[in-house]
């Protein structure tokens, strides 16, 4: 259950071990936190002081993912930068932790840092580490295509409603609800990889777990200013990671406890607070153009009630729960916590537990079989009409993606540039109307605009405020759209 990194990682592991698997995702693939992250393939440097197990998992998986999915990784390297000498004890503990975790690092001089990044960074000390950039949407697509190529089934816009058990309390089926109504799937096990929704799904097992949900806000700048990840060297805090991602730079993040698994609407006051922390390390961001802000909810697991404990102190390690060993049915498992970086390892450990239950003896292969690259979208020819000028997306690229508006966006990148769909949004929705006449044009336009606008609004300062005002003028005055 769950079509994020963890659920698809589990399905890939299962099909490689020869099992029959169905992924059930309530919305589109990547609907949850797996499309709402910085895009950092962690070296583990962020966790060595307080969370050494998570740090060691990260460096192990950093190496594995670079090997099995090189198309989805940009091997940029990263730097940890100490802005001043205030936290010297932390720096010494960090260096010791890096050595103990076996993570390569070496000092970088001020002039080399300037040379490496091309921008002026306030740095008393800097160290190089093997961080990298992870193309999350691409890796999800690769996993999806590889799972299907091995016979796995992926059902989107389908929710788990209940599990069915036999007289001995073992799972024999799952009731799922999709566009074509409710139906039962026969199965021997149900794995809950529902990320921040894992608590809700565990309730369907009758053995609820407690999650410690917290959300983080990230700000996208419309420039790629350097080709290396930059982390602030201090206890993890707000606004201390810059990730170059495609043609943009992402600054993150915050850590605010929340009750709902749905990503909250970003607020401009929070964006500005985080921007301020980023500004302490790289003052020139005051000249960078912000583009949008977005949020994601961390699926952290609270082994016991955390009460007022700060989310930053909850481990980034992961946990596998065998509900059959508790109050739940045999064959019900949950996997919670962890990082995008450790999705494969989480899947391996989870599938090991499920196979022990099923008495199947098959070794994990995901660390040695490379994922086939994703099928390329057809590049538009010069005769093919450009729909999105910012990202150069042409008609044929859009037409050949089968799926929702969100899939058109995340597979082609239309509306992801500085104008955020101001100019292409209406045009693309009209094309969509030709392709899918049964869809409601007005509903598509409205949902698309709302989704883009909430991110722009939370970053509406400087030039982006002018862009946002222009977008609203075009929408409401020229196109007569409703707010």
Residues 341-400 that bind ligand FAD (CB under 6 A): 341
Q: How many CA atoms lie within 13 A of 214 on its CB side?
A: 22
Is 278 within 8 Å of 231 (Cβ atoms)? Answer: no
Q: Which of 45, 78, 216, 425 binds ligand FAD (CB under 6 A)?
A: 216
Helix (H, G, I), strand (E, B) or coil at 298: strand
- Shortest approach of ligand FAD to residue 339 CB, angstroms? 4
Q: Which of 13, 25, 74, 207 binds ligand FAD (CB under 6 A)?
A: 25
- Shortest approach of ligand FAD to residue 459 CB, angstroms? 15
Tell me phi and psi for residue 267, to 5 degrees.
-110, 140
Q: Does 296 bind ligand FAD (CB under 6 A)?
A: yes
Cα 358 to Cα 174, 407, 452: the distances in Å are 17, 35, 45
- Shortest approach of ligand FAD to residue 475 CB, angstroms? 29
Q: Does 3 bind ligand FAD (CB under 6 A)?
A: yes
- Shortest approach of ligand FAD to residue 300 CB, angstroms? 9
In this complex, which beta carbon is closest to ligand FAD, that of residue 34 or of residue 457?
Answer: 34
Q: Does 418 bind ligand FAD (CB under 6 A)?
A: no
Q: Does 31 bind ligand FAD (CB under 6 A)?
A: yes
Dihedral sign for Cα 2, 8, 14, 18, please.
Answer: positive
- Shortest approach of ligand FAD to residue 460 CB, angstroms? 20
Identify the CA nearest to 133 among candidates 231, 11, 253, 279. 231
Is 122 within 8 Å of 110 (Cβ atoms)? Answer: no
Tell me phi and psi for residue 248, to 5 degrees.
-125, 175
R_g (Cα) of the chain, nearest Å:
23
In the chain, DSSP finds a helix count (H) and a strand count (E) of: 13, 22
Cα 180 to Cα 134, 158, 198, 437: the distances in Å are 35, 9, 25, 19
In this complex, which beta carbon is closest to ligand FAD, that of residue 152 or of residue 216?
Answer: 216
Helix (H, G, I), strand (E, B) or coil at 320: strand
In this complex, which beta carbon is closest to ligand FAD, that of residue 78 or of residue 324?
Answer: 78
Query: Which residue is listed with tokens 């602030």?
Result: 232
Q: How many residues bind ligand FAD (CB under 6 A)?
A: 40
Helix (H, G, I), strand (E, B) or coil at 374: coil
Considering all CA atoms of the chain, what is the largest pairwise distance in Å, rounded to the nearest integer? 70
Could you tell me the two tokens for 120? 């002026």
C-beta neighbour count of 289 within 10 angstroms: 16
Q: Does 273 bind ligand FAD (CB under 6 A)?
A: no
In this complex, which beta carbon is closest to ligand FAD, that of residue 244 or of residue 296?
Answer: 296
Q: Does 78 bind ligand FAD (CB under 6 A)?
A: no
Query: Which residue is listed with tokens 């030039």?
Result: 463
- Shortest approach of ligand FAD to residue 465 CB, angstroms? 24
Angle between helices 136-149 and 5-16 (to 10 degrees): 30
Is 78 within 8 Å of 43 (Cβ atoms)? Answer: yes
> Which among 27-35, 85-93, 143-151, 264-272 is the span making contact with ligand FAD, rule CB under 6 A?
27-35
Q: Which of 68, 79, 193, 233 binds ligand FAD (CB under 6 A)?
A: 193
Q: Which of 130, 196, 328, 380 binds ligand FAD (CB under 6 A)?
A: 196
What is the Cα–Cα distance from 336 to 314, expressed in whole angstroms? 12
In this complex, which beta carbon is closest to ligand FAD, that of residue 263 or of residue 424?
Answer: 263
Q: Does 32 bind ligand FAD (CB under 6 A)?
A: yes
> Which among 75-83, 292-300, 359-367, 430-438 is the span making contact with ligand FAD, rule CB under 6 A?
292-300
Q: Does 1 bind ligand FAD (CB under 6 A)?
A: yes
Q: Does 2 bind ligand FAD (CB under 6 A)?
A: yes
Q: Does 195 bind ligand FAD (CB under 6 A)?
A: yes
- For the window 100-139, what string marks contact with ligand FAD as x by the rule CB under 6 A? ----------------------------------------
Q: Which of 339, 394, 411, 426 binds ligand FAD (CB under 6 A)?
A: 339
Q: Does 315 bind ligand FAD (CB under 6 A)?
A: no
What is the Cα–Cα distance from 114 to 121, expressed in whole angstroms? 7
What is the Cα–Cα distance from 88 to 255, expressed in whole angstroms? 24
Q: Which of 50, 157, 159, 289 binds ligand FAD (CB under 6 A)?
A: 159
Is 374 within 8 Å of 142 (Cβ atoms)? Answer: yes
Residues 224-263 that bind ligand FAD (CB under 6 A): 252-253
- Shortest approach of ligand FAD to residue 29 CB, angstroms? 7
Q: Which residues bind ligand FAD (CB under 6 A)?
A: 1-7, 24-27, 31-34, 37-40, 42, 159-160, 193-197, 201, 216, 218, 252-253, 296-299, 338-341
């Amino acid at each position: 259950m769950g079509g994020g990194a963890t659920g698809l990682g589990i399905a890939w592991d299962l099909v490689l071990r020869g099992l029959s698997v169905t992924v059930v995702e309530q919305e589109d693939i990547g609907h949850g936190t797996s499309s709402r992250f910085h895009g950092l393939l962690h070296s583990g440097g962020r966790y060595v002081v307080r969370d050494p197990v998570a740090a060691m998992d990260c460096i192990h998986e950093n190496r594995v993912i670079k090997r099995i999915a090189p198309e989805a990784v940009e091997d940029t390297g990263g730097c940890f930068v100490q802005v001043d000498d205030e936290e010297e004890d932390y720096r010494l503990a960090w260096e010791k932790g890096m050595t103990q975790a076996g993570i390569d690092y070496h000092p970088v001089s001020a002039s080399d840092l300037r040379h490496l990044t091309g921008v002026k960074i306030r740095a008393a000390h800097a160290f190089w580490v093997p961080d990298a950039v992870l193309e999350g949407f691409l890796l999800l697509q690769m996993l999806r295509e590889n799972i299907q190529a091995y016979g796995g089934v992926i059902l989107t816009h389908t929710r788990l409603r209940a599990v069915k058990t036999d007289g001995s309390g073992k799972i024999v089926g799952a009731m799922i609800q999709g566009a074509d109504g409710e139906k039962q799937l026969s199965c021997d096990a149900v794995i809950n990889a529902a990320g921040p929704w894992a608590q809700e799904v565990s309730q369907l097992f009758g053995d609820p777990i407690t999650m410690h949900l917290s959300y983080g806000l990230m700000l996208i700048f419309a420039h790629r200013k350097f080709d290396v990840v930059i982390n602030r060297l201090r206890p993890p805090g707000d606004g201390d990671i810059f990730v170059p991602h495609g043609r943009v730079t992402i600054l993150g993040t915050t850590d605010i406890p929340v009750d709902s698994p749905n990503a909250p609407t970003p607020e401009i006051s929070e964006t500005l607070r985080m921007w301020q922390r980023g500004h302490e390390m790289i003052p020139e961001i005051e000249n960078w153009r912000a583009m949008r802000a977005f949020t994601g909810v961390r699926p952290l697991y609270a082994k016991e009630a955390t009460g007022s404990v700060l989310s930053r102190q909850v481990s980034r390690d992961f946990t596998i729960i065998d509900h059959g060993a508790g109050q739940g049915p045999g064959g019900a498992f949950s996997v919670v916590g962890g990082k995008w970086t450790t999705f494969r390892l989480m899947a391996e450990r989870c599938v090991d537990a499920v196979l022990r239950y099923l008495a199947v003896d098959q070794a994990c292969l995901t660390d040695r079989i490379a994922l086939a690259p994703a099928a390329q979208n057809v590049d538009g020819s010069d005769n093919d009409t450009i729909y999105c000028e910012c990202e150069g997306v042409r008609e044929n690229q859009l037409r050949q993606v089968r799926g929702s508006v969100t899939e058109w966006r995340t597979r082609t990148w239309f509306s992801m540039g500085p104008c955020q769909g101001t100019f292409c949004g209406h045009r693309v929705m009209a094309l969509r109307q030709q392709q899918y006449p049964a869809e409601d044009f007005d509903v598509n336009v409205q949902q698309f605009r709302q989704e883009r606008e909430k991110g722009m609004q939370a970053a509406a300062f400087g030039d982006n405020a002018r862009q946002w005002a222009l977008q609203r003028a075009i929408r409401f005055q020229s196109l007569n759209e409703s707010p």
